[in-house]
Amino acid sequence: MEANTVGKLIKLLSEYPKDMIITNQANQPFIHIINRQGEALTLSTEKPIGYCRKCGDYAYEELNRELDYPGQCPTCDENLYNFEINSLENGSK
């Protein structure tokens, strides 16, 4: 499968009204955009809960409620305890 690029996305989006909401296949709106500094542009349906103390990237709520972790880091591919997450409020990565 060929990956999409920013150029393809811009061309596609230019065909739609500017106030149209963008959703995923489950009709969940993308509410967070992450610029991975030249590596990728990530659209997320989840709001981050803080920053991962290990890598500094965003941490998100752990969706698997069977696990006893409040957060997870997609970059580290690890579940996180509260002490492993820095707050968004203080802006400290």
**pTM summary value:** 0.71
CA gap 62, 25 in Å, rounded: 20
- The full set of domain ranges for the chain reads 6-44, 50-87
**Strand ranges (E), 10-90:** 32-35, 41-44, 50-52, 58-61, 71-73, 78-80, 85-87
Q: What is the pLDDT of residue 33?
A: 87
Specify whether the CB–CB gap between 69 and 76 falls below 8 A.
no
**Full pLDDT tens readout for the chain, 93 residues:** 777 888 998 999 999 999 999 998 999 999 988 887 777 888 889 999 999 999 999 999 988 766 789 999 988 999 999 999 999 886 655
